[in-house]
């Protein structure tokens, strides 16, 4: 399901409103789904990414669709601004310089592969988002990360590290899931 430009703009405005509401109240904006078209009320998984002056400033999201799209965007925008542990909370003074990007995820599909080399050969740079899972270790990279890590082997190595594993780790029990995103902002 692709969103129309006005629907994308509505979600971007909602994300910004949720952050502004958070600055005033310390809580995400409550969403009245009646104010949004049906497409924005369907359960969808999203990530909201904040950038300031061209640098990452926060990124939080959900890998599974557990709430309506508009609610997910409002919650994740607030969390990206105030709960991303890699950054201090966004301040009033930064708001004018914050760029918002929303990624809507497709349902993840488990990949089948016979080896690490087979997995790497199947990866689609610029298209695939990946979830790596091994026991209690889990990490994901959105498709946008390919811009910084265009080589499939390096993409996978960094994803392992993000999941808390050594970059050269491999096991026959590693699970990899693939998804795509509709990104705008």
Q: What is the residue-level pLDDT of the chain in tens, covering all 185 positions?
A: 689 999 999 999 999 999 999 999 999 999 999 999 999 999 999 999 999 999 999 999 999 999 999 999 999 999 999 999 999 999 999 999 999 999 999 999 999 999 999 999 999 999 999 999 999 999 999 999 999 999 999 999 999 999 999 999 999 999 999 999 999 99
Report yes or no: 63 and 131 within 8 Å, Cβ to Cβ.
yes
pLDDT (0 to 100) of residue 62 = 94
Helix, strand or coil for residue 15? helix
| Residue 125: partners with Cβ closer than 8 Å, 6 or more residues away | 146, 150, 151, 152, 155
The residue among 19, 44, 22, 41 whose CA lies nearest residue 32 is 41
The confidence score (pLDDT) of residue 1 equals 64
Quickly count helices (H) and strands (E) in the chain. 4, 8
Nearest to 9 by CA among 156, 185, 165: 185
Domain(s) labelled CATH 3.30.1490.150 in the chain stretch across 109-180
Residues of the chain with CATH 3.30.700.20: 5-105
- CATH number for the segment(s) 5-105: 3.30.700.20
Q: What's the pLDDT score for residue 2?
A: 87
Class of domain 109-180: alpha beta
Does an H or E element contain 45, and which? strand 45-52
């Amino acid at each position: 399901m692709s969103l129309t430009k006005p629907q994308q703009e509505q979600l971007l405005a909602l994300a910004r409103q949720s952050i502004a509401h958070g600055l005033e109240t310390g809580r995400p904006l409550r969403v009245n789904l009646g104010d949004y078209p049906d497409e924005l009320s369907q359960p969808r998984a999203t990530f909201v990414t904040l950038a300031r002056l061209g640098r990452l400033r926060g990124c939080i999201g959900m890998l599974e669709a557990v709430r309506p799209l508009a609610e997910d965007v409002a919650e994740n925008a607030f969390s990206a601004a105030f709960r991303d542990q890699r950054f201090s909370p966004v301040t009033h003074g930064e708001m004018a310089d914050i760029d918002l990007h929303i990624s809507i995820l497709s349902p993840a599909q488990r990949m089948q592969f016979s080896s690490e080399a087979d997995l790497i050969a199947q990866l689609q740079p610029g298209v695939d988002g990946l979830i790596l899972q091994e026991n209690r270790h889990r990490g994901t990279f959105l498709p946008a990360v390919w811009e910084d890590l265009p080589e499939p082997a390096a993409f996978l190595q960094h994803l392992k590290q993000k999941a808390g594993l050594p970059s050269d780790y491999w096991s026959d029990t590693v699970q990899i899931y693939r998804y795509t995103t509709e990104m705008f902002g």
